[in-house]
Chains A and B, each alone.
Chain A
């Protein structure tokens, strides 16, 4: 019955379990380093981390970031350094969420949340300005009306998500560390990471996991 074998195969599939994930109702958990909508971080005293250096804009392959730096007003400084991000805009119609801006940022001012479910009805809303990207006084991302924030999207948005943190260490490879600096959203060490010298004692578990991914 060679001709009919195929019919048996397709018929049997009716009783097999489904692989479909019913997306809006049930969601699969996001990876720890999920690249979502950006946030602009602040220090604990409320100062902005962004120093307006435009490295993020320079590295962006999609050319979606627009930054203009300006000198800090001496009487009311916005950031601890000399300059601050006077204009900061990200166009989410162009952003490809490659995270290169996060890698490039010297002060870990820009990081990414795990939010990806945001939609807008006009092009103006697609361009996020500094006011929208900045974290609020509790260090949490602002939840804009057209964004669909889910449980866990806004936590762990600090710079530890960067593959190459601590920043500036070009020799770093494959070890998870976190920045541990002043700032909001920094979370305690996990999975065997240690706070004092993460690069010296990487977690074996994490290291193995990473190798299997690579």
Chain B
């Protein structure tokens, strides 16, 4: 299907509309990041019995602007050991995916500009969700190259952690997204939203809560948000990958980080909470989807701040355990179960039997995984003792 904008061919007006949408999304993201930084600082200070920024503008709402202006005028340092080209490139590699992945988020329904019908989203590629996964993977390059090119040990450690962490959680995230894709039968974000047209068909309910929770956790890790911010763990790595960065380049990393938070919240809303779907109350039918979208978005932004205020940072081995031994098996099992139920519905199988069979297979898999892990935990001393005895015998 795709965006009705391109149905009648591409003329000058269509190009203008697309440009307009690009500018709107760009400005929206910048403003959203500005407000997100302010919102995060306000909420987290509320949770710590503080007041938070309250000097610049009403309720300190312009604090981010002031900070950004300050950063812009600070000295831009380039370490002697840095790989100069990559060092300069890395912040842009980090911020571009952050901008790009918001392009596929549907903000509202269909509107009409100058006789052209168009979706309220920058682009609706048929591979929408794959695009999201690709962008979130490319974002690793920014972080990794930044740490590598700094020519300093803490950033290097941070970037090693970043790449390992993102690779680990990418799989769990993709499996959770696959469940949502399965229920919509399409990779396009517009279709995924359209498939969740009533409250009980929202993916958070219709798929069970598991993919939603897995996606939430994996996406938090993917964005390096606390409690998964090992990449820049202040206490261990000074500032992690951006230790050597200053001035506007640092600001770009900062911007990308918060933009990722906004984008991830938007993706959670899109994939699991029906995006802009919600009851339209009387007047202004095109406005209500936008309002619903932003309400859901703010809820998730709050959740992210709440997570940060509550949870201490993970240890590195805990991070890996959670990713590989828990999230991936659980989301894999759940995806298979959802797939089995769908096939069962099409083929007319008994739902109870399918469920029971699925759970039985799941339990078997869980037991096998546990046994394998227990074997893996066996330390080298035991093994060497046994092998020694074998040698003696």
Contacts and interface: CB of A to CB of B under 8 A. Distances in A.
Interface string B297-328: 00000000010011100000000000000000
A2 interface: no
B29 to A, nearest CB: 27
A18 B311 contact: no
B27 to A, nearest CB: 31
Contacts of A169: none
Nearest to A8: B310
A19 B306 contact: no
B49 A17 contact: yes
A79 to B, nearest CB: 48
Contacts of B49: 13, 16-20
B366 to A, nearest CB: 20
Contact of B51 (A6, A14, A20): A20
Interface of B: 43, 46-51, 54, 306, 309-311
B50 A18 contact: yes
Interface string A11-26: 1011011111010000
A1 interface: no
Contact of B47 (A14, A17, A19, A22): A14
A18 to B, nearest CB: 5
Contact of A18 (B43, B51, B310): B51
Contacts of A6: 310-311
Given A13-B46, A20-B51, 20 more contacts: A6-B311, A7-B310, A10-B47, A10-B309, A11-B47, A11-B306, A13-B47, A13-B48, A13-B49, A14-B43, A14-B46, A14-B47, A17-B49, A18-B50, A18-B51, A19-B49, A19-B50, A20-B49, A20-B50, A22-B54
Top 4 A-B residue pairs of the complex, sorted by shortest distance between their CB atoms: A20-B51, A14-B46, A10-B47, A10-B310
Nearest to A5: B310
A22 B310 contact: no
A19 B52 CA distance: 11
A76 interface: no
Contacts of A22: 51, 54
Contacts of B310: 6-7, 9-10
Interface string A70-111: 000000000000000000000000000000000000000000
Contacts of A20: 49-51
A10 B51 contact: no
A10 B47 CA distance: 5
Nearest to A15: B46
Contacts of B51: 18, 20, 22
B56 to A, nearest CB: 14
12 contacts: A6-B311, A7-B306, A10-B47, A11-B47, A11-B306, A13-B46, A13-B48, A14-B47, A17-B49, A18-B49, A20-B51, A22-B51
